[in-house]
Amino acid sequence: MEREAGIERARAWISEAGSVAVLTGAGVSAESGVPTFRGPGGLWREHRPEDLATPEAFARDPLLVWEWYAYRRELIAACRPNPAHEALVRLEKRCEDMSLITQNVDGLHALAGSRRVLELHGNLFAIRCCNCGAERQQREPPASLPPRCARCGGLERPGVVWFGEALPGQALESALAAVRRAELVLVVGTSGVVWPAAGLLQAAPDGCRSVLVNLEPTDQSEQVDLALHGKAGEILPGIVAA
Ligand code: BV8
Ligand code: ZN
């Protein structure tokens, strides 16, 4: 289908749906300057995730892992929401029941003004004590690396979900419930390879329509009713227009 016709169809489906679940990945923030993980220039091209984004890596070398996160925190602190994030804010305002489920740790949905965001993989600006569990939000760089807990002196870690770790239970349950009651699921800017987030689309009920927005086809393109290829920052403003 021609792109304009696809956008038109998605726009009609969205305006008919009472309940919408949106699943986002790194591609939604690409136009803000946040590097994606697996594409050209993706973060995993230079670093193996198993070297840096696992509890084992952190146990082995907390300073190395923290240096990588400090670099990403600094890069992302300078990034601003783009028209894709902004379109999803408008959709939330208009839609009776919308859930924004994100794998992103950059916080840009909230910064854009989305009120209800389910962060499945945590947040880059959260810092949690490995010893007492105290968690804080801090955008400024830690004074020294690796940071230590002000309460108990324990080693602190980034408040993100690493490979092999369970996702935050409440966020995952709410995400699953949102997809199960959705009349439309919109999947934006994710390669769809990281579980359990990648499995959420399959929880959509019979009769639920599904739309995918991505620069290129992914494994999930086959699973949706409509796949739109192009930049999220160009396509989303079109499909949520009143
Ligand atoms: C768990 C946070 C169990 C930290 C991240 C083998 C088979 C199946 C599963 C597994 C397996 N081996 C292991 C697993 C499980 C594993 C997994 O899925 N591995 C995969 C890789 C095989 N999953 C886990 O370990 C999860 N936990 O299973 O726990 C458990 C249960 C109970 C008790 C204990 C344990 C935890 C996964 C969390 C991993 N954390 N990061 C950090 O950021 O440092 S994952 C990382 O990938 C990112 O955070 C991101 O959220 C996630 C997904 O990536 P995407 O967002 O999709 O990004 P990607 O770069 O891949 O794609 C970007 C897309 O955008 C592309 O398609 C591109 O075309 C598109 N794009 C680019 N520009 C644009 C665009 N689209 C539109 N517009 C544009 N402008
Ligand atoms: Zn502590």
pLDDT (tens digit per residue) in 223-236:
999 999 999 999 99
pLDDT > 70? residue 15: yes
Residue with CA closest to ligand 1 atom 36? 163
Per-residue pLDDT reduced to its tens digit, 196-210: 999 999 999 999 999
Instruction: Give the C-alpha separation, 212 to 192, whole Å.
Output: 11
pTM: 0.96
Share of the chain residues as helix, strand and coil, in percent rounded to the nearest 5:
40, 20, 40
DSSP class of residue 216? Answer: S
Q: What is the DSSP string of 22-86?
A: EEE-THHHHTTT---SSSTT-HHHHS-HHHHSSHHHHHH-HHHHHHHHHHHHHHHHT----HHHH
Q: Ligand 2 centre from 148 Cα, in Å?
A: 8
Q: Ligand 1 centre from 116 Cα, in Å?
A: 21
pLDDT of the residue at 47? 73
Q: Is 220 in the pocket of ligand 1 (CB under 6 A)?
A: no
Q: Using an 8 Å Cβ cutoff, are 215 and 38 in contact? A: no
- The residues that are catalytic are 121
Instruction: Give the C-alpha separation, 43 to 58, whole Å.
Output: 18
From the CA of 188, the nearest ligand is 1
Residue with CA closest to ligand 1 atom 21? 194
pLDDT of the residue at 127? 98
